[in-house]
Amino acid sequence: MTEKFWNKEIETAPRDQIEKLQVQGLKKVIQWALDTPFYGKKLKKSEINSPDDFNCIADLTKLPFTTKDDLRNNFPRGLLAVDMSEVVRIHSSSGTTGIPTVIYFTQDDVNRWSDIVARSIIATGARKGDIFQNMMTYGLFTGGLGLHYGAEKVGMTVIPVSSGNTKRQVQIMKDFQSTVVHATPSYLMHLHSVIEQSGPGLAGLALRKTFVGAEPHSENTRLKIEEMFGIDAYNSYGLSELNGPGVAFECEFKDSMHVWEDAYIVEIIDPATGQQLPAGEEGEVVLTNLIRQATPLIRYRTRDLAYLTNEPCRCGRTHQRLSRITGRTDDMLIINGVNVFPSQIEEIIMQIPEVGTNWQICLDKDGALDKLTVNVEIYSKMFSGDASQIEKLRSRIKEELRASIVINPIVRLHEPGFLPVSEGKAKRVIDNRPKI
Ligand code: DLL
């Protein structure tokens, strides 16, 4: 391979060399981090006063964990390590209520992230000459722009369609003969059903590969997508706090995702004790970002559950591989690729005075897509008046939820006592989606 983004020396480096790169990288990150108000205090508390206090990979456990709450509590600039005038990009977990998390990038940060995404693309066998239709949302969500910049670096022809408008997506696939698409697995299944309904099926398409990610899915879902379209599908993992997509990606052998260990240090820990777990044991994924100066992030607890494999991969790459994400340690739901906490829904509905005390969320499948129903009890006096008032209230709740969680829910209003009451912890979420 002569590709610019296939770096044999780094991608097939023996473990001791990878660790050496990580130690060098982390020393730099500590220097950057000490410049932020948040880590300035936090690292010093752990007696890390300079990069010289970190000398081998075993020293990692001396460093404190970072959590989503740390990011929220230090919003907006507590983790900013450069002058704001050096920041060229902001991504944020927006579309949520409460305090968002924000990630800043310098130009070098964007370049380093794009290089890693380009490397991921090359590892799948996609190339310059491919026509890349990016169906992931563009905006504060990292799925759109993250792959966009990486694909341009590879030299692919990028079509930045963003998500939605399925009929138009199909037309564009035909018009421009797209060979690679990027989407959530659930959207691809939906896309297939729209193609089937619209007549000539897959005839006239040139598709050969897809990158899928941003939401949990099983091996069977991958096989189904591959079979439906007659293409190869590669799993892609990332999160906005760690730049976005490109943290771990499957190579052409599609046997778990290589974590790019010169860019990210991965650990699996026991979520209860915080102790590191060996390869093969499932626990919480913890990641350190080695390639971003503007917002350094050390030992970030992702709350995703998975395990690592360090067996050699048939592709020759030595970077450890991450299994599929098997679950979460918190109650975050992923609905058609969008992250939603039940508490966000509660916050919205509970500020509406007509709403009673009980509510419940139901998740089902509507074809390939997830369907969210929010059941809300309202005060009985609402039922004695004009029915149009109830409809007005329903629309208002629906609209406020849509604006906040960026998902269009079905809202059903009920009289008090309709929903089950639990004596202990309320069961707010009924998830009828098939388990992965
Ligand atoms: O979902 C970034 C991304 C975009 C990844 C496009 C891949 C492709 P967030 O919106 O911050 O970022 O959501 C991150 O989504 O902690 C996981 O729980 C879940 N997730 C992401 N990729 C996968 C995957 C993007 N391949 C959260 N399998 C993460 C399972 C995934 N879950």
How distant, in Å, are the alpha carbons of 209, 268, 297, 343, 361 from that of 99?
38, 27, 18, 13, 22
Locus of tokens 């010169």: 262
Residue 162's pLDDT is 96
Choice between 436 and 342, residue whose per-residue pLDDT is larger:
342
pLDDT in tens, 142-178: 999 999 999 999 999 999 999 999 999 999 999 999 9
Query: In the block, which residue shows the tokens 């599609």?
Result: 254
337 Cα nearest atom in ligand 1: 1
Q: What's the token pair of residue 332?
A: 């975050």
The neighbour count for residue 411, using CB atoms within 10 Å, is 21
How far, in whole angstroms, is CA 316 from its chain's centroid? 27
Overall average pLDDT of the 270-297 stretch: 98
Residue 258 has pLDDT above 70, yes or no: yes
Q: What is the pLDDT of residue 424?
A: 65
142-151, 272-281, 322-331, 414-423: range with lowest mean pLDDT:
414-423
- Is residue 276's pLDDT more than 90? yes
- Collapsing DSSP to helix, strand or coil, 284 comes out as strand
Which residue ranges form the domains of the chain, and what is each CATH number? 1-329 (3.40.50.12780), 333-431 (3.30.300.30)
Residue 97: is its pLDDT beyond 50? no
Ligand 1 pocket, residues with Cβ under 6 angstroms: 136, 141-143, 213-216, 235-240, 244-245, 302, 304, 325, 334, 339
Confidence check: pLDDT of 93 > 90: no
- In this prediction the pTM is 0.91
The pLDDT of residue 95 is: 43
User: Ligand 1 centre from 250 Cα, in Å?
Assistant: 14
pLDDT given for residue 105 in this prediction: 98
Probe target for ligand 1 pocket from 325, 332, 333, 406, with the most ligand atoms within 8 Å of CB? 325
Mean pLDDT: which of 89-98, 142-151, 335-344 is highest? 142-151
Cβ(412)–Cβ(375) under 8 Å?
A: yes
Quick one: which atom of ligand 1 is closest to the CA of 324? Answer: 28
